A and B are shown apart, each in its own frame.
Chain A
Amino acid sequence: MSAHDQWKHNTSDPLGLRDLEAIEPGYDGWAQIESALQTHQDKKRTWQRAGGWLAVAASLVLVVSITLRNTENDIPSGPPSTGLATPATNLASVQVQDNVNSLIGLSQSMESQVKKLREETSSMPAESAIYVAELEDLIAHVDNELSLTPDSIDLWGQRVNLMLDLAQIYQQQWEIDYGRMASL
């Protein structure tokens, strides 16, 4: 050690604290760390999948909506009082029913996705919580209307869209939480 280093050492560490020996931990915590990292990786993958799933669901809603619009345009506007169904109207109603079933399936999947997202998300800011509450109110309102007209393709479409909005809020919140955690 040069004279300058010695002087620097003495002035920056006058009590010689640096000479104290390292403290042996006496434990091996690697297994716990590895497990925590594994859980983190799994969670990250789940959320990445959820993000992809949301994109797919959004695309499906779009496809169903376009199909629905085309189907509605194809339905002939004959007098309903005749009570006779033409082949064209039969085909149209089958298509509508298929679309309703698709939307019901989509809505159910969204429901379970949102449930999972909700469990994984920590607390959220007040404005997001208000938005979530409003969306849930709207969903309850749609559910109420669906109890009267269970085959309404329009209502099922609305429900899926509301669920998508809800899922997106939870996902954004998770991204914020994840960013915050990573910056610790």
Chain B
Amino acid sequence: MRACEKIYRKFHTQAFTVAVRICKSRELAQDVTQEAFITAFKRMHQYRGDSPFWGWLRRVIVNHAISALRKLPRHDAVEFEDYMATNGGDQERLGHCMDLEQALEQLSDEDRMVVWLHDVEGYKHREIAQLAGKTESYSKTRLNRARARLRKLISDRDQQNAPNTTLGVTSNATA
């Protein structure tokens, strides 16, 4: 049990980060992380030790996170277009505070999962396709789409900021 606690302390933050990146919700990520650690400790005997432990644990966490996402009702997966349409009034606020992290949060569950697993965790399209129960082209399409959306969100923020700055300068200059 002591060894398990050491492992938990060592990997808790990493595990939670992966769970949040996939699930978006901190509450859901907390449940996922807890369940994933319990599963991992129960099947510790299955870890062969021929690969880094974190890689094995991460797979357990990703599996749990995807499983948790699947259980969510479909309407919880907010598409970017929907977000933009319903949050038009918040564009100014969005323009000021949105960074890459927030842009990531605006992606749909599937897009976020694919871009994170591929770009950060180093999963191959084949592996993502297996996890999602889809084809490799699904993973490739999702990745391109997710990257394009992230770029658009960030560029929208930059454009949102630019006129304000100009106005500020003009205003000062006029004064």
Among the stretches A8-16, A82-90, A106-114, A138-146, the one at the interface with B is: A8-16
Q: Mark A5-34, 1 if CB is under 8 A from B, else 0.
A: 000000011111110101111010110111
Question: Knowing A29-B30, A30-B9 touch, does A15 contact B151 (C-beta < 8 A)?
Answer: yes
Q: List CB contacts (< 8 Å) of B67-102 with chain A.
A: 100-101
A13, B120: Cβ atoms under 8 Å?
yes
CB distance from A29 to the nearest CB of B (A): 5
Residues of A within 8 A of B41 (CB): 33, 37
CB distance from A31 to the nearest CB of B (A): 10
Closest to B103 in A: A15
CB distance from B63 to the nearest CB of A (A): 7
B100, A20: Cβ atoms under 8 Å?
yes
B147, A15: Cβ atoms under 8 Å?
yes
A183 CB within 8 Å of chain B: yes
A17, B42: Cβ atoms under 8 Å?
no
B33, A25: Cβ atoms under 8 Å?
yes
Residues of B within 8 A of A16 (CB): 100
Closest to A182 in B: B43
CB distance from A41 to the nearest CB of B (A): 9
CB distance from B1 to the nearest CB of A (A): 6
B57 CB within 8 Å of chain A: no
Q: How many A-B residue pairs have CB under 8 A?
A: 82
Q: How far is the CA of A15 from the CA of B143 in the complex (A)?
A: 12
A15, B33: Cβ atoms under 8 Å?
no
Q: Which of A15, A32, A34, A181 has the largest count of B CB atoms less than 10 A from its CB?
A: A15
Q: How far is the CA of A97 from the CA of B39 in the complex (A)?
A: 51
Number of residues on chain B facing chain A (CB within 8 A): 39
A25, B120: Cβ atoms under 8 Å?
no
B34, A29: Cβ atoms under 8 Å?
yes
Q: How far is the CA of A24 from the CA of B101 in the complex (A)?
A: 14
Question: Knowing A25-B33, A37-B42 touch, does A17 contact B104 (C-beta < 8 A)?
Answer: yes
Among B42, B43, B150, which residue has its beta carbon within 8 angstroms of that of A15?
B150
Q: List CB contacts (< 8 Å) of B87-144 with chain A.
A: 100-101, 104, 115-116, 118-120, 122
Q: Mark B10-30, 1 if CB is under 8 A from A, else 0.
A: 001110110011000010001
Q: How far is the CA of A32 from the CA of B31 in the complex (A)?
A: 11
Closest to B104 in A: A17
Residues of A within 8 A of B42 (CB): 37, 40, 181-182
B122, A24: Cβ atoms under 8 Å?
no
B39, A22: Cβ atoms under 8 Å?
no
Residues of B within 8 A of A12 (CB): 118-119, 122
Q: How far is the CA of A40 from the CA of B1 in the complex (A)?
A: 13
Among B16, B64, B116, which residue has its beta carbon within 8 angstroms of that of A17?
B116
Q: Mark A54-72, 1 if CB is under 8 A from B, else 0.
A: 0000000000000000000
**Known pairs A17-B104, A22-B17, A23-B20. 19 more at Cβ < 8 A?**
A12-B119, A14-B119, A15-B154, A16-B100, A17-B100, A17-B115, A23-B16, A24-B13, A25-B12, A25-B13, A25-B16, A25-B30, A29-B12, A29-B34, A37-B4, A37-B38, A40-B38, A181-B42, A182-B43
Residues of A within 8 A of B (CB): 12-18, 20, 22-25, 27, 29-30, 32-34, 36-37, 40, 181-184
